[in-house]
Amino acid sequence: MVLTGAEIVIRCLQEEKVEHVFGYPGGAVLFIYDALFQQEQVRHVLVRHEQAAVHAADGYARSTQKVGVALVTSGPGATNAVTGIATAFCDSIPLVIISGQVPTAAIGQDAFQEVDTVGITRPCVKHNFLVKDVRDIAATIKKAFYLARTGRPGPVLVDIPKDVSMHKCEFEYPQEISMRSYNPVVKGHQGQIRKAVQLLLEARRPMIYTGGGVILSDAAEQLTKLTRLLGFPITNTLMGLGGYPASDRQYLGMPGMHGTYEANMAMHYSDVLLAVGARFDDRVIGSPAHFAEEPRKIIHVDIDPSSISKRVKVDVPIVGDVREVLDEMIRQLEAGKARPNAEALAAWWKQVEEWRSRNCMVYKNSDEIIKPQFVVQKLWEVTGGDAIVTSDVGQHQMWASQYYRFDKPRRWLNSGGLGTMGVGMPYAMGAQLANPGATVACVTGEASIQMNIQELSTCKQFRLPIKICNLNNRYLGMVRQWQELFHGGRYSESYMDSLPDFAKLAEAYGHVGIRVDKPADVEPALREAFTKHKNELVFLDFQVDPTENVYPMVQGGKGLTEMILSAEDL
Amino acid sequence: MRHVISLLIENESGALSRVSGLFSARGYNIESLTVAPTEDASMSRMTIVTTGSDDIIEQITKQLNKLVEVVKVVDISEAAHIERELMLIKLRATGKDREEVKRTADIFRARIIDVTEASYVVELTGNQAKLDAFIGAIDNTLILETVRSGICGVGRGDRILKL
Ligand SMILES: Cc1cc2nc3c(=O)[nH]c(=O)nc-3n(C[C@H](O)[C@H](O)[C@H](O)COP(=O)(O)OP(=O)(O)OC[C@H]3O[C@@H](n4cnc5c(N)ncnc54)[C@H](O)[C@@H]3O)c2cc1C
Ligand SMILES: Cc1ncc(C[n+]2csc(CCOP(=O)(O)OP(=O)(O)O)c2C)c(N)n1
Ligand SMILES: [Mg+2]
């Protein structure tokens, strides 16, 4: 069948079973929008800013196993998308971004709305393409989806000049794709896995540390099975929350800068550390030199060889997909008779429980002023711990990760690697569209939410009943906290003056707005939002204590055992 | 430590900037980089001379392998290998310098490939040290232009980098 390039683009999306495309039209993509108009299978979600299009596609991907898709025009459309692309890149999220480009003949002529999109995005995509011939569109889009979802996932951009979208050719979607230069290893090396299992069985102070890789490979089930089989303590990074049920006894909470005392101490003093789909980030291990002071054997499972021995020297590297490798570990353990040393394990758990008994997550609640932690706890209760929770970046993000207990994967969506303020609402939009029946809450701050506040309009148009919980402390709280602790209390530009009345703002967009001032009103307001206004977007503006800080804390550059547990430690 | 990394890469536009971008973005050194198509025109071969600790070189090879268009990467300096560089050097050649330049070129088995009344262009191939030595042996004030290709490398014997 002979089709235009634009029609081919849409047919490719249909072939990939894409249901939602998040985008914003413009000159260079007019033919593609025209083709989109003439079919019904692929639904377009018109955002109000291209950054939000990419974030929403990203949230869509994070909450499912699918590839998120965004469509933007050339020039400013593409540059607006860059923050979204970089955010997905840093957290290894599979996306396909289609951008329009000026006609081939105009490329390099400083044409209207021309930017070198492939050049600008090169350092923050897994791969990108400029399609110069209509006959290459189908194969390129096929490759883009394949690259985005396999190996270590990531965003892939396809730049299509306007004339290429207008030209015609015969359409045929390739069934198979093979690339001689790209063959990610999926199955782990048998011998290495055997070595790892041996080490685990001999361990006296074992610890399991897992991250985003477990979520990305949909291996929560395998991880839970293996962890229970071994009986070891486990911690999940900010990106790995929900990989193991947070309410289980073996779970020690999150590690790292704002992780729990018990998780950090157990990471540090373990003799065998099993790292799975986690990348020893600086916000997790603090100073690598301090971490290396304590001798321990490290097993590292990761699909990307460059993640292994990058920041921390590893003893047993296993390159492969988490799910495949854990399956094989379980198989080997179950086939053998050997079990971990019960006596050593009991002694280790005694030590771990001692650390846990420090109760590092307690905070002083108040009857007068709303504590942000309290709001998150109540949110957890009211939603039965089963909501999809998105977050922005700052103190509220940390409190959401600490006080909402995630028992399942793909329930916690946030920007860990790039730390992009403004992702919260678009993530919630993507998640709600992907999971129409699910309860979706966005825990945000008064500064972050303003970075993409225009999306309240998109939410109205597409009737997205998300619940926004604004922990309004009138400060760039996380910045204020660092200024308080490390810059002599000089609050340079961290006060958020001239805030809007968020409840009224939400109403102006056609939503429900509720302002909450007193602790006693927190739970009733949440109940009202999640029951009475179940099918509406509710903006809950909680006036929280502006002076509250996030604890525990490992200061940047310090070691995991050098924690500040509360303000009293200062 | 100095390393010579050879790689095969899909011969597509932008492939070179992916490699050079990787080095600048991650702060790796590039001493020289050469690239040209192989006998299979769909693939190019690149030789990169770089320096770094063992950990950094390990990351460099891993990061290069991760580039979608890179087909194969080998650190050829890990074992016996040959390096060659081509230099074209234009020298002032007048009066008694004419004879002196010719003699030095002969000693180095270089060839004079362009002659005018006032200048020679000398072609010299060898490893880096040999080219440096030639420049050292020539009176510096005679040098009008120097063009060096950067290093090409290949493993000795049956060490073969092929698809
Ligand atoms: C304000 C702020 C504070 C933060 N504080 C903390 C903190 O206290 N604690 C914390 O943990 N984080 C914290 N972070 C997040 C931190 O910056 C990192 O984003 C995070 O720790 C990285 O998580 P990860 O190690 O799980 O790696 P990810 O970024 O999730 O990477 C996943 C890894 O898994 C691999 N992988 C992917 N797919 C597969 C597969 N199928 N099979 C095998 N491997 C796979 C990838 O190659 C990669 O190495 C904070 C962020 C912000 C913004
Ligand atoms: C786009 C962007 N700009 C700046 C920052 C730096 N930053 C990190 S947290 C933060 C403050 C966030 O304030 P708010 O959303 O109110 O959250 P709070 O910390 O008060 O809970 C800032 C400015 C960032 N992460 N992202
Ligand atoms: Mg704030």
- CB nearest B68 (choices: A118, A123, A182): A182
**CATH topology (fold) of A372-550:** Rossmann fold (3.40.50)
Residues 179-198 of A with CB under 8 A from B: 179-182
Q: Which ligand is nearest to the CA of A89?
A: 1
Residues of A in contact with B59 (CB under 8 A): 306, 310
Range of the domain at B127: 82-152
Q: Is A548 helix (H, G, I), strand (E, B) or coil?
A: coil
Tell me which residues have their CB within 5 A of the ion that is ligand 3: A 445-446, 473, 475, 477
- The CATH number of the domain where B61 resides is what? 3.30.70.260
**Residue A342: partners with Cβ closer than 8 Å, 6 or more residues away:** none
For B81-98, what is the mean pLDDT? 97
Please give the interface size between A and B, counted as residue pairs whose CB atoms are below 8 Å apart: 36
Q: Looking at the CA of residue A496, tell me the nearest atom of ligand 2.
A: 16
- CB nearest A306 (choices: B18, B21, B59): B59
Domain count, chain B: 2
Residues of B in contact with A119 (CB under 8 A): 17
CA A471 to CA A444: how far, in whole Å?
A: 6
For residue B163, the model assigns a pLDDT of 87
| Within-domain flag for B161 | no
For residue A336, the model assigns a pLDDT of 95
Task: Kindly report the three-state secondary structure assignment for every residue of A303-364.
Answer: CCHHHCCCCCCCCEEEECCHHHHHHHHHHHHHHCCCCCCHHHHHHHHHHHHHHHCCCCCCCC
> What ipTM was reported for this prediction?
0.95
- Contact between chains at B59 and A147 (C-beta distance less than 8 A): no
Same domain, B53 and B89: no
Contact A320, A186 (CB under 8 A): yes
Same domain, B60 and B90: no
Q: How far is CA B56 from the centre of its chain?
A: 21
How many CB atoms are closer than 10 A to CB A567? Answer: 13
- The CATH number of the domain where B131 resides is what? 3.30.70.1150
Domain with CATH 3.40.50.1220 in chain A: 190-356
Same domain, B115 and B60: no
Tokens of residue A509, six digits: 């967009």
Tokens of residue A422, six digits: 């403004």
Reported as half-sphere exposure (CB side, CA atoms, 13 A), residue A548 has a value of: 26
Pairing of strands A412-413, A388-391: parallel
Contact A156, A125 (CB under 8 A): yes
User: What DSSP designation does A529 have?
Assistant: I
One pLDDT digit (tens) per residue for chain A, 570 residues: 999 999 999 999 999 999 999 999 999 999 999 999 999 999 999 999 999 999 999 999 999 999 999 999 999 999 999 999 999 999 999 999 999 999 999 999 999 999 999 999 999 999 999 999 999 999 999 999 999 999 999 999 999 999 999 999 999 999 999 999 999 999 999 999 999 999 999 999 999 999 999 999 999 999 999 999 999 999 999 999 999 999 999 999 999 999 999 999 999 999 999 999 999 999 999 999 999 999 999 999 999 999 999 999 999 999 999 999 999 999 999 999 999 999 999 999 999 999 999 999 999 999 999 999 999 999 999 999 999 999 999 999 999 999 999 999 999 999 999 999 999 999 999 999 999 999 999 999 999 999 999 999 999 999 999 999 999 999 999 999 999 999 999 999 999 999 999 999 999 999 999 999 999 999 999 999 999 999 999 999 999 999 999 999 999 889 999 999 998 887
**CATH topology (fold) of A2-170:** Rossmann fold (3.40.50)
Residues with CB under 6 A from ligand 2: A 392-396, 419-421, 445-448, 471, 473, 475-479
| Within-domain flag for B115 | yes
By C-alpha distance, the chain A residue nearest B72 is: A181
Taking the centre of ligand 2 as the mean of its atom positions, its distance from the CA of residue A452, in whole angstroms, is 13
Tokens of residue B106, six digits: 């002969």
Least Cα separation, residue B5 to chain A (angstroms): 17
**Separation in Å, CA A253 to CA A266, A418, A437, B101:** 11, 22, 29, 75
For residue A536, the model assigns a pLDDT of 98
Domain with CATH 3.40.50.970 in chain A: 2-170, 372-550
Which residue puts its alpha carbon closest to atom 15 of ligand 1? A416
Same domain, B73 and B116: no
Taking the centre of ligand 2 as the mean of its atom positions, its distance from the CA of residue A286, in whole angstroms, is 21
Q: Estimate the crossing angle of helix A322-335 against helix A220-230, to 10 degrees.
A: 30
Which secondary-structure segment (H or E) carries A508?
helix A502-508
- Asked: is A190-356 a CATH 3.40.50.1220 domain? The reply is yes
Which secondary-structure segment (H or E) carries A155?
strand A155-161
What letter represents residue A300's amino acid? H
**pTM of full prediction above 0.90:** yes
DSSP sequence for A407-460 = -STTSEE---SS--TT-HHHHHHHHHHHSTTS-EEEEEETTTGGGSTTHHHHHH
Tokens of residue A124, six digits: 């923050």
Tokens of residue A425, six digits: 């609402």
CA B101 to CA B112: how far, in whole Å?
A: 10
Least Cα separation, residue B60 to chain A (angstroms): 9
Residues of B in contact with A309 (CB under 8 A): 55, 58
Which secondary-structure segment (H or E) carries B88?
strand B81-92
- Contact between chains at B21 and A123 (C-beta distance less than 8 A): yes
CA A390 to CA A401: how far, in whole Å?
A: 10
CB of A409 closer than 6 angstroms to any ligand 1 atom: no
Q: How far is CA A419 from the centre of its chain?
A: 10
For residue B78, the model assigns a pLDDT of 95
Q: Estimate the crossing angle of helix B95-107 against helix B128-137, to 10 degrees.
A: 160
Domain boundary among B78, B112, B142: B78
- Contact between chains at B70 and A181 (C-beta distance less than 8 A): yes
CA A198 to CA A210: how far, in whole Å?
A: 19
Question: Beta strands of A39-117 (E only): which ranges?
Answer: 43-46, 68-72, 95-101
By C-alpha distance, the chain B residue nearest A313 is: B55
Active-site positions of A read 50, 112-113, 162, 478
Q: Which of A375, A420, A421, A492 to mutate to test the pocket of ligand 2 (most atoms within 8 A of CB)?
A: A421
Residues of A in contact with B71 (CB under 8 A): 180-181
Same domain, B62 and B119: no
Same domain, B13 and B47: yes
Same domain, B95 and B141: yes
For residue B77, the model assigns a pLDDT of 97
Total residues belonging to chain A: 570
Pairing of strands A206-210, A234-236: parallel
Domain boundary among B39, B61, B78: B78
CB of A473 closer than 6 angstroms to any ligand 1 atom: no
For residue A238, the model assigns a pLDDT of 98
CA A478 to CA A343: how far, in whole Å?
A: 43
Taking the centre of ligand 3 as the mean of its atom positions, its distance from the CA of residue B88, in whole angstroms, is 64
Taking the centre of ligand 2 as the mean of its atom positions, its distance from the CA of residue A469, in whole angstroms, is 16
Domain boundary among B24, B47, B78: B78
Same domain, B86 and B148: yes
